[in-house]
Amino acid sequence: MAAAAGFWYHVRVQFDHTDAQGRVFYARYFRLLDQARCAYWEALGFTADTVRQIEHDTVIVHVEADYLGPAAFYDLLRIHVTATHLGRSSLHLEYRVVHEQSAQEIVTARMVMVQVDLATATSRPWSTAFRAAILAYHGQQVVQP
């Protein structure tokens, strides 16, 4: 499988990521996706403080994953992160987790996050800077219906 263009995050499976079967425990993938997402914000040019603010001011309203193959302790994984839709206050992300040694896609995931006003618990629009960074990286196709 050829590597897709765009942002890739590399991570090595740690022992505490695995279960009694010696495979990565399914729930651990969501933590790995979180790590990849934060690294993705940095790749878009956001500072560490801005990454903290983005993560603080958003909620994950939908997440789903498909498990296609195993990974074990000390395997090297590549996680591809891409935005597929930028709404007024929402952002749809897709992830692909690839086992480095076999080049097999082992997890695919989709996530929707929403920017919120924490005081009122209502959605609020993304900042101009955030929208500009997403559009500069992915192009106008992410805002198409």
Burial of residue 3 (CB within 10 Å: 0-12, 13-18, 19+) is exposed
Tokens of 93: 């992300």
Other C-beta atoms closer than 10 Å to the C-beta of 29 total 21
CA–CA dist 52, 70 (Å, integer): 31
DSSP bridge partners of 82: 94
Give the start-to-end residue ranges of the domains of the chain: 7-138
Q: Identify whether the C-beta of residue 115 lies closer than 8 Å to the C-beta of residue 89.
A: yes
Span 40-79, pLDDT tens digits:
999 999 999 999 999 999 999 999 999 999 999 999 999 9
Fold of 7-138: Thiol Ester Dehydrase; Chain A (3.10.129)
The 10s digit of each residue's pLDDT in 60-70 is 999 999 999 99
- Contacts for 42-51 with beta carbons within 8 Å, 24 or more apart? 43/7, 43/137, 44/133, 44/134, 44/136, 44/137, 45/133, 46/133
The whole-model pTM stands at 0.93
